[in-house]
Amino acid sequence: MAVLTVVCFFRSTERAHNLLNSKNRMAKRKASPERKTPVKRRRVTEQAAPSTSADAHEVKGVKRKVQQDAAGTTSPAKKPKFAEPTSGDKEQASSSLDAGKDCSQSTNGCMKDGRRKSAGDSKEPPKRKKGDKTKHSAQNLAADQRREFQARYVEEHHLGGGGCGAVFAGYRITDRCPVAIKHIPKDRIPIKVTGENGKRVSVEVAIMLKLAAEADGPVGASAPVSLLDWFDLGTELILVLERPVPAVDLHDYITANGGCLPEEKAKVILKQLVDAAKHLEDKRIFHRDIKSENILIETGSDVPRVRIIDFGLSCFAKERSVYRLFYGTPIHTPPECYGRKKYRAGPTTVWQMGVVLYEALHVGDFNTMTFLQKELKFSKDLSPHCRNFLDACLTNVPEKRPTLGDLQLHPWLR
């Protein structure tokens, strides 16, 4: 009997000990950081700009990353004046910043079942809060703008794009005039300015409206392509731009000519480009990203004609404006951005003239860092005047570079 009591005591003690250990292990598992429930990660996607064409296809992707950093911009001496919004079929640049109208979300004039209201329907609609009314109005205005765009233009295949948006070919319905249709998501507009109405607008729109207002001739007469129309769809802007036909960008034009151009043909292009850049400078407009992909060459005649596109990174500039954050193509960054951490409009534009000329006369792309390390060599076949022009544009010290006015008078371009 005594032996049985001792055995039962030990078994009871062992069970209690095991139970205590089990509880301790459970407590440790719950407290262990390795056992925490994982947090679900959000899935982030990016959607391309829409195309209304059933056979839309991509012609060419982004050749180079356009944007580097955010940039400090200088406000214009005088704020740009914006025209009144367009309506109906007026063919002029629209400057409405109000988003358009969405009737799919409006029951105004209709019952929920789709019946028209009659005089006997006396029940008052539910009152909206002020914030809901504002949001509803913005949605309606955005839908109106979309319908107006679709009533005026047909969008076709994808032409290209960059860090700020995508561009599609298209035409105007009334006369089948070729246009380029640029979609810019609102969250990708890099620079905005304030108009006289106090509203913020894309600097690309503001600059192109200024150029249109001050144009000396009809659409197509100036080197910068013209803004024909624009629409604010709430979440994106749509710019309708002149599209010269036939035309290719300078990068493809050089490629089609064997990878580099004869000096005489390069001279014809550079003379027009310098004149166009000087015209922009006189209007206090700093393009900031003049390069072969942003230069169209009209090929419909024996003499190639230069057109400048993509003002998405441009800004209004005063004569002595200084910038500390670089906007543009990183491989074309002027040397002063590396050393002094600042740059100015005139010397930077002259540097870009040199970059464009180098790529026109040599096989391969220009890279500032490679050039500064003296790994890029100039062709020995260049004439002395051409070599001098190129040397002057690509001078490391910005104060020693000629002005655009000086380049216009350079012997190589005379």
In angstroms, the CA 307 to CA 247 distance is: 9
Question: Helices 384-393 and 345-361: crossing angle, nearest 10°?
Answer: 140
Question: First and final CA of the chain: distance in angstroms?
Answer: 126
Q: Is the peptide bond before 125 cis (omega within 30 degrees of 0)?
A: no
Q: Is the pTM of this model over 0.85?
A: no
In angstroms, the CA 225 to CA 306 distance is: 10
Q: Residue 137 carries which side chain, given as an amino acid letter?
A: S
CB 392 within 8 A of CB 412: no
pLDDT for the residue 129: 56
pLDDT for the residue 127: 52
CB 155 within 8 A of CB 246: no
**Closest among 228, 197, 239 to 89, alpha carbons compared:** 228
pLDDT for the residue 217: 80
**Closest among 165, 167, 194 to 313, alpha carbons compared:** 165
pLDDT for the residue 64: 40
pLDDT in tens, 346-383: 999 999 999 999 999 999 999 999 999 999 999 999 99
Q: Is 65 left (phi over 0), alpha (psi -120 to 50) or beta?
A: beta
> The CATH number of 247-413 is which of 1.10.1510.10, 3.40.50.10490, 3.40.630.30, 1.10.510.10?
1.10.510.10
In angstroms, the CA 319 to CA 109 distance is: 56
In angstroms, the CA 353 to CA 246 distance is: 24
Q: What phi and psi values does residue 348 have, to the nearest 5 degrees?
A: -70, -40
Rounding to the nearest 10 degrees, give the CA dihedral for residues 284, 288, 292, 293: -110
pLDDT in tens, 198-255: 888 899 999 999 999 998 888 888 999 999 999 999 999 999 999 999 999 999 999 9
**Residues with catalytic annotation?**
289
User: Both tokens of residue 249?
Assistant: 């960008």
In angstroms, the CA 375 to CA 392 distance is: 18
In angstroms, the CA 140 to CA 133 distance is: 10
In angstroms, the CA 304 to CA 145 distance is: 37
pLDDT for the residue 132: 59
Contacts of 105 (CB under 8 A, 6+ apart): 136, 139, 140
The one-digit pLDDT tens for each residue of the chain (414 residues) are 444 443 344 444 444 444 444 444 444 333 333 333 333 333 232 333 333 333 333 323 333 433 343 333 333 334 333 333 333 333 223 222 222 222 222 222 222 222 223 333 434 444 545 555 666 688 899 999 999 999 999 999 999 886 688 999 999 999 999 999 999 999 999 888 887 778 888 999 999 999 999 988 888 889 999 999 999 999 999 999 999 999 999 999 999 999 999 999 999 999 999 999 999 999 999 999 999 999 999 999 899 999 999 999 999 998 889 999 999 999 999 999 999 999 999 999 999 999 999 999 999 999 999 999 999 999 999 999 999 999 999 999 999 999 999 999 999 998
Residue 234 CB neighbours (<10 A)? 17
